[in-house]
Amino acid sequence: MEATIPRTEAAEPVLSIRELVVEIPTRRGVLRPVDRVSFDIAPGEILGVVGESGAGKSMTGNAVIGILDRPARIASGEVRLNGARIDDAAPESLRALRGKEMGMIFQDPLTSLNPLLRIGDQLSETMLAHLPVGESEARERAVAALDEVGIPGASQRVRGYPHEFSGGMRQRVVIALALCAEPSLVIADEPTTALDVSVQAQIIGLLKRLCRERGTAVMLITHDMGVIAEAADRVAVMYAGRLAELGPVRDVIQRPRHPYTDGLMGSTPLASRGLGRLRQIPGAMPRLGNPPPGCAFAPRCPKARDACRLDPRPEISGSGGGAACLFPMEAA
């Protein structure tokens, strides 16, 4: 029997994550790539999740959609989609929800597209599996979906194979594939990294427009603060598996409270605007198997004090926002 998620009022978050912990058991101990992460995403909202490689961004997205590679597993916490808990759902139920209620956009569109099937067949197959439509209507909707994401000559291109499309056009097809069953949540994992800058802007604009029109919630995972500034409504900054800062994108970018966010902004052209040298954050992120006591950023933080190196580690209270720092920076 196909699982369904009840739709709720607009005031209810589409995605609600509470104290999410992902663990990976190894011979040398248990690793925690995601450690007590909490946030919400409202209908029509784009939440940007940003941080260095290994910060836990993609692992959080994979945990939400239920595609963690073993032996990684959700150890504790809750994930709710439109009010219904899904972190403890059976694999068959999650499989039914993927595509219908949750869409996924990956960095490389070729990982999402079957090279042996025509584009139209892949779109139709998804709609036939998740929507009450027949083959004829599914084919018409496939053409409409390609037209909606800006692919010229959609009625002809629907018969094309993935290798016959450019990288930017393939990513448009993946967006159409992720949205064709009208999901309430889309997780976009580095959707523009492999694209030219001009194509990146087109893809971000397309994603924003479609999600605003449909009221779809988006979890946008990226390491590019420029993409966050352009696309997101709010931003969650992750470091070493934890949330360092959470808040409206304008506030976090212009007035960062956590020293890591400040360093992250100072190391991007977005902040310097060509007026000065980019700053560098010294050191490296701690290894998952050997986290330091207290704040994980303390060994690299220019403002760290003795209290920062002691447990318990500072946390963001609830999902409303703030900075996980004992001595947050002044909101200049």
> Which pLDDT tens digits describe the chain residue by residue (332 residues)?
344 444 444 458 999 999 999 999 999 889 999 999 999 999 999 999 999 888 999 999 999 999 999 899 999 999 999 999 999 988 888 888 888 899 999 888 887 899 999 999 999 999 998 889 999 999 999 999 999 888 999 999 999 999 999 888 998 999 999 988 889 999 999 888 777 888 888 888 888 888 888 899 999 999 888 889 889 999 999 999 999 999 999 999 989 999 999 988 887 775 555 556 777 888 889 988 888 899 999 999 988 999 999 988 888 866 667 999 999 987 54
Chain centroid, CA 197 distance in Å: 20
Residue 241, φ and ψ in degrees, nearest 5: 85, -5
Residue with tokens 């310097």: 272
What is the distance between the alpha carbons of residues 247 and 237, in angstroms, rounded to a whole number? Answer: 9
Domain boundary assignment for the chain = 42-68+88-101+185-209+216-332, 102-182
Helix (H) or strand (E) holding 35: strand 29-41
- The phi, psi pair for 26, rounded to 5°, reads -135, 175
**Assigned superfamily of 42-68+88-101+185-209+216-332:** P-loop containing nucleotide triphosphate hydrolases (3.40.50.300)
pTM for this entry: 0.89
| Tokens 């209270």, residue located | 317
